[in-house]
Structure 1
Amino acid sequence: MSAGFPPGGLPLDALPTPALLVDRARMEANLAAMAGSIGAAGVALRPHFKTSKCLAVARRQLAHGAIGFTCATPAEVRLLQDAGVEDVLWAHQPVGPAKVAFAVRALARGGLTIALDSLEVAVPLSDAAASSGVTVPFVLEVDTGLHRAGVDPDRAVETAGALCALPALEMRGVLTHEGHLAAHGPDRPGLEAAGDLAGRTLAQVAEALRAAGHECSLVSVGSTPGATSAPFAAGVTEARPGTYVYFDANQVGLGSAGIDQCAQTVLTRVTSAQRPGTVIIDAGIKAMSSDSVATAGSLGVVCDAEGGPLDGVEFAGGNEEHGYLTGPGTAGLRVGDLLRVVPNHACGTTNMWSELYFADGGRAVERHPIRARY
């Protein structure tokens, strides 16, 4: 808990707005549910840290059985290593002298695995690691449909052979991010089928690598939409969901969660009601994620102070410090009214904030820093 925060907490009405809230009971339920379902799949759980960037949340994930964490940035890796987390996967290509140098330092501390997908990425890291006497445990990133980073499945064996021929590199397995599942929108059966295919594709790549003589004990899939399908494919050993800790309006739209499972909200107040059909709140785009590929269709779901969605109110857009709520439901809103907004994208929203409040029973009961932000 941050120094100076009242031991008994504060009523939400007493907090300055906007403020970032995490419903502690909902978060705990989300953590328990994912740990149970991933455990039922017989695979390990390695959450993505980017969703919370908060050590207080990470400790709760570890308490629910997470084996370690996935990271995207050097700052996230450093924060977790400094906190004593002994198993970290850096699922982003370390390109450029600064990132290569950081990778070598972080590898020397132990407990770090790095994702690679090409010789162009691997050669500078291999050279630096060999010069420093450091080994680079790595996973080969495989593209199972997102078409972002990752080698095509039919080139995996060739690429793995080239990487393993470099000094200081030690292959552990394969990794994919099935982020393309979001393209299925509310078509949950289609999304589930695509997730199953991603898991099976990665497992088949792992089998081909083993047949070629490569170590491939780690077969890692990762996404919240895919957490009910990809980890259940035979041969998958690890799942890396991130957003599940809070969920968000995008995940509601994808059928991954109900609105009553969304733990992250932005507390805000109505600050102006000058024009019929529109009111202004003090949470603008600097308080939210303005993710342009959001499936939520808005900046978030507007709720009352208790977290119940408001009918006929849409968060249509915003400026830096002003949010525009529109629709017939705004007629019932007055200046000073306290509202909560479920963001369209929890991870992007987290990165906008320096601290969060755990909320319980209408009170803010703890305050914790958010770190490793851009």
Structure 2
Amino acid sequence: MGTDALARLAEERVNHRFKGLPPDADGLTVGELAAQRRNLFTGGFATPVLALSAERLEHNLALMETYAARHGLAFAPHGKTSMAPQLFRRQIERGAWGITLAVPHQVRVARRFGVERVFLANELVDAAALKWISAELDADPGFRFVCYVDSVRGVELMDAALRGASRPLDVVVELGAGEGARTGARTEAECTAVADAVAGTRTLRLVGVAGYEGEVPRADPERVRAWLRRLVALAAGFDAAGRFAGLEEIVVSAGGSAWFDAVADVFAGIPELSAPVLRLLRSGAYVSHDDGHYREVTPFNRVPEEGALEPAFRLWAQVVSRPSAGQAFANAGKRDAAHDLDLPFAQVVRAGGAERPAAGITVTGLSDQHTWLRTDDEAELEVGDWVGMGLSHPCTSFDKWQLIPLAEADGTVVDYVRTFF
């Protein structure tokens, strides 16, 4: 996928645009800096700096590859988590069917870097974006694009924007996860009306059904599986009605990062349909995992024999103020750390070249550029020490850093991951 464009990422010049990188690296290309294999702690990096663990990233990629294969699932991980084409490539090399995205800008990034299959988990009604996607489909016979439809009005807008297209746009009817949930038609009758509207166009082709089980109200295993069974029944009903006639495959898709075990269980029971079924899982947060939200809700907690994901991010900040025995401040803030679900977690302190657990140190708040730390009697912390923090919710970690060091366990930085938000 897009090897030339990916290779050109290494030719980008390092400068003031990229937080945390060594000031004396200005003017080097990313590739030249990576080749120096500098150490994150002694190589001139400036705090705050976010690092991605090379070993844990590889572990997580391998684990989800084997999980999807074991359960007979195709995998289109949600790329909006990272928006990092280098990670897209590694996921596809690990057997991913394609990449899931949410908005047109993200599709443009994916196409720029050669992604051949995109699942857009949203109804797309922007005329300019639809015309661009249509042009991409016309120009590249190998490009596969699938997106949601969840309303008759949406179908009408899409049809109007796509008039004259030479290839129909593949769509899946989105079944909403329940009243008060996010997007999606709420009832099977509404889904049928949307499917009828698609059938009345020449610009759209119905290829399946989809949804997002993470929005099931008061989600628990029973409620999530009940909704997934509705989704499967909707696909079977559409097929029995001849709505998928002539397709080479039928798409049935779900799967965030909290309930993919339920998706695997229910999708294993999809009955034989008139064409092979593409059982498409879309979990994305697994790439870096986290030390908060997803660590608590990962399906691997419920099914430990399947393995375990590992948190791969660590944010390093430096103590810049120690105004009292019970308080300290480090130089990372809301612009550096994910904070939409949980605050960062103090994990280790680094001083004098040695690391120790962050005993007695608790993150209590974030200002724009400061981490508020409460320090108990057992805390050993001085101005100048580095504090390594785990983060919650990778979806809002990648977007704060444009160029992220990929570091081995000893601190050796072996590459840099470029993001596009």
TM-score (norm 1): 0.88
Which of 261, 264, 287 is residue 336 of structure 2 equivalent to? Answer: 287
Q: Which amino acid aligns with 2:53?
A: D
Instruction: Report the alpha carbon displacement of residue 232 of structure 1 after superposing the two structures with TM.
Output: 2.2
Deviates most, 308-317 or 173-182:
308-317
For 1:111 and 1:133, how far apart are their aligned partners in 2? 14
- Which residues in structure 2 correspond to 1:276-355 (within 5 Å)? 276-291=325-340, 294=341, 298-304=342-348, 310-328=358-376, 331-355=379-403
For 2:328 and 2:407, how far apart are their aligned partners in 1? 26
Instruction: Report the alpha carbon displacement of residue 25 of structure 1 after superposing the two structures with TM.
Output: 0.9
Taking a change above 3 Å as real, the CA distance of residues 105 and 276 of structure 1, as seen in their structure-2 partners, is farther
CA contact (8 A) 2:181 2:216 kept: no
Residue 57 of structure 1 is matched in structure 2 by 87
Residue 203 of structure 1 is matched in structure 2 by 232
Which of 58, 62, 74 is residue 44 of structure 1 equivalent to? Answer: 74
For 2:34 and 2:200, how far apart are their aligned partners in 1? 58
1:175-196 CA deviation, whole Å, 9 max, x = no partner?
1112236965xxxxx3x33443
Q: Which amino acid aligns with 2:285?
A: T
Residue 245 of structure 1 is matched in structure 2 by 287
1:322-369 CA deviation, whole Å, 9 max, x = no partner?
111225278322222222222211011111111111110222221121
Instruction: Report the alpha carbon displacement of residue 144 of structure 1 after superposing the two structures with TM.
Output: 2.3
Residue 4 of structure 1 is matched in structure 2 by 32
Residue 260 of structure 2 is matched in structure 1 by 227
For 1:196 and 1:312, how far apart are their aligned partners in 2? 42
- Which residues in structure 2 correspond to 1:117-266 (within 5 Å)? 117-145=150-178, 147-154=181-188, 155-180=190-215, 190=220, 192-215=221-244, 217-233=250-266, 234-235=269-270, 237-248=279-290, 249-256=292-299, 261-266=310-315
For 2:132 and 2:407, how far apart are their aligned partners in 1? 36
For 1:319 and 1:105, how far apart are their aligned partners in 2? 45
CA contact (8 A) 2:34 2:416 kept: no
For 2:414 and 2:98, how far apart are their aligned partners in 1? 27
CA contact (8 A) 2:60 2:309 kept: no
Point out where structure 1 has 5 or more consecutive residues left out of the alignment: 185-189
Instruction: Report the alpha carbon displacement of residue 311 of structure 1 after superposing the two structures with TM.
Output: 4.1
1:62-98 CA deviation, whole Å, 9 max, x = no partner?
1211111001122221122122221111112223344
Q: Which amino acid aligns with 2:69?
A: G
Secondary structure at 2:60 match in 1: helix
1:123-143 CA deviation, whole Å, 9 max, x = no partner?
122122123334111111111
Which of 59, 63, 66 is residue 33 of structure 1 equivalent to? Answer: 63
CA contact (8 A) 1:219 1:237 kept: yes
Taking a change above 3 Å as real, the CA distance of residues 171 and 260 of structure 1, as seen in their structure-2 partners, is closer
Taking a change above 3 Å as real, the CA distance of residues 144 and 244 of structure 1, as seen in their structure-2 partners, is same
Taking a change above 3 Å as real, the CA distance of residues 260 and 176 of structure 1, as seen in their structure-2 partners, is closer
Instruction: Report the alpha carbon displacement of residue 21 of structure 1 after superposing the two structures with TM.
Output: 1.2
Q: Which amino acid aligns with 1:72?
A: A
Secondary structure at 2:316 match in 1: strand
Q: Which amino acid aligns with 1:326?
A: R
1:105-155 CA deviation, whole Å, 9 max, x = no partner?
344343211211112222122122123334111111111247111112422
For 1:47 and 1:63, how far apart are their aligned partners in 2? 12
For 1:229 and 1:209, how far apart are their aligned partners in 2? 22
1:157-212 CA deviation, whole Å, 9 max, x = no partner?
2221122212210011111112236965xxxxx3x334433322211111111122
For 1:38 and 1:151, how far apart are their aligned partners in 2? 28
Instruction: Report the alpha carbon displacement of residue 8 of structure 1 after superposing the two structures with TM.
Output: 4.1
Residue 109 of structure 2 is matched in structure 1 by 79
Secondary structure at 2:295 match in 1: helix
Q: Percent identity?
A: 24
Taking a change above 3 Å as real, the CA distance of residues 310 and 204 of structure 1, as seen in their structure-2 partners, is farther
Q: CA RMSD in A?
A: 2.5
For 1:89 and 1:252, how far apart are their aligned partners in 2? 26
For 1:22 and 1:260, how far apart are their aligned partners in 2? 14
Deviates most, 274-283 or 242-251:
274-283
CA contact (8 A) 1:301 1:309 kept: no
For 1:63 and 1:43, how far apart are their aligned partners in 2? 16
